[in-house]
Amino acid sequence: MQKKVARTLLAIGLIILAGPALADPLKGKVGVYSFPDSVWWDQWMGFQSEVEANPEFDFEWYLLGELGSEQQLITGARRNRIQVISISSQGMTSLVPEMGVILAPYIFDSLEEADFVLDNYLAEPITKMFGELGLQVIQFTEVGWGVLYSVGRPVLDPADLDGMTLRIAPSIILQSFVESVGADYAILELGELIPGLQTGLVQGGLTNVVMVHNALNSQVCCVSRLKGMYEMGVNMANGRWFESATDAQQAALIDAYVDLKTMRKNVRAYVEEVVQEGEAAGLTYLDLTPAQRERWKNASANGLQRILDDTGSEGARLYDLILQGKAAFARQQAAGQ
C-alpha cells in the first residue's frame, strides 16, 4: 500500500515538474495572391517564416492564387474553409459597399492625410463592419495611389481622354470616376487586357504602379500619376476560427506580419523603385502639376456623389468620419505637429 502511495505521489510530482500538456497547434489555410519578387511577397514570406517557426501553428500556404479568385477567397474565409486571406480594395467594397466612400476619387489630398484618417477615424468602424460579416481584421495593407496608363499618347488632363476607352475592373468606384471625367470604359478580365490593348479595343486603363510594372510595361507608353484614388487592402481571418485561438496565438498572428507603419514605408519606397525601373526601360511616368490635379478633382466630383448616393446612410456616416479626420489632420499640420 505504501509503495502504491509513493508511486502515485511520484507520478503527481513528475506531472507538476513537466508542466501542462502542450495543446494541439492551431491549424489553418492561408490563401492570397501575391506577386513574387515584390514588397508584398517579401512581407508574406516574413509572415510565413514567423508562423512556421512557432510550434503553436500548423498552416498550409497558398500564396500564388491557388485557392481561386478573390471572390472565392472571400467565400472560403466566411465559410471557414480558408482561415486567413488578403483582399484588395475591390474585394473590400464587394463585401462592404460603404467602403467605396473611402476609396472614392480625390477623397484624400495626400498619403499622409490618408494614413492619419485611416488610423485615427476609420480603422475601428471598418473592423466592426467586417466583424459583423464573420471576419476578423488582422492588418490593413498598403498599395498606394492608383494610376492611369495609356497607349499612343500621354494623358495629363481630363480633356486628353477624348476618344479613348479605358479598361477598368468591375468596380463602382472606377466606373463612377471614368463616367464623371467623360470617358468611355470597358470592363475586361485581366486575361483580356493585353489583347484589348493590342487590338485597340481599349487605349488605356486604371490600375496601380505595380500592376503596370508586372504586366503592362511593354504594352503602354505612358503612366499618369493622378494621385486621386487611394488603394489599400486588408488581411483577415475567419472570425470564429480566430476566436478559437488562444490570446497568445492571436497576438502571434498579428505580430507575425510587418507593422503598418513599416509596411507603408516599404511599399512607398518600392513603388518609387518600380517607377525608376520603368523609366529606365523607356516608359514615361507623368506627375501632375497642382493645377492639373485640381482639374481632375473637379471633373470627378460627381463620382463621389454617386458613391454616396449608392451607399446610403452607412456611406454618409463614413464620409462624415473622413471629413472629421481631414479637419483634424489640417489642424495638426497647421500646428506644426
pLDDT at 236: 97
**Rounded Cα–Cα distance for residues 30 and 83 (Å):** 6
Q: What is the rounded radius of gyration, in angstroms, for the C-alpha atoms of the chain?
A: 24
β-pairing, 26-31 vs 204-208, is unpaired
pLDDT over 70 percentage in the chain: 93
Per the listing, cell 513528475 goes with: 14
Burial class (CB in 10 A: 0-12, 13-18, 19+), 15: exposed
Rounded to two decimals, what is the model's pTM? 0.88
266-325 residue pLDDT tens? 999 999 999 999 999 999 999 999 999 999 999 999 888 889 998 889 999 999 999 999
- Give the contacts of 240 (CB within 8 A, at least 6 positions apart): 80, 134
pLDDT at 10: 41
pLDDT at 20 over 80: no
- More confidently predicted of 335 and 62: 62
CATH code for the domain defined by 24-334: 3.40.190.170
pLDDT at 155: 97
H-helix segments, 200-300: 209-211, 239-244, 247-256, 260-280, 290-299
- More confidently predicted of 218 and 82: 82
**Rounded Cα–Cα distance for residues 186 and 142 (Å):** 27
DSSP string, 70-132: HHHHHHHHHTTSSSEEEE-HHHHHHH-GGGGGTTSTTS-SSHHHHHHHIIIIIHHHHHHHHHT
**Rounded Cα–Cα distance for residues 121 and 93 (Å):** 18
Helices 260-280 and 39-52: angle between axes, nearest 10 degrees: 140
Cell of 302: 460627381
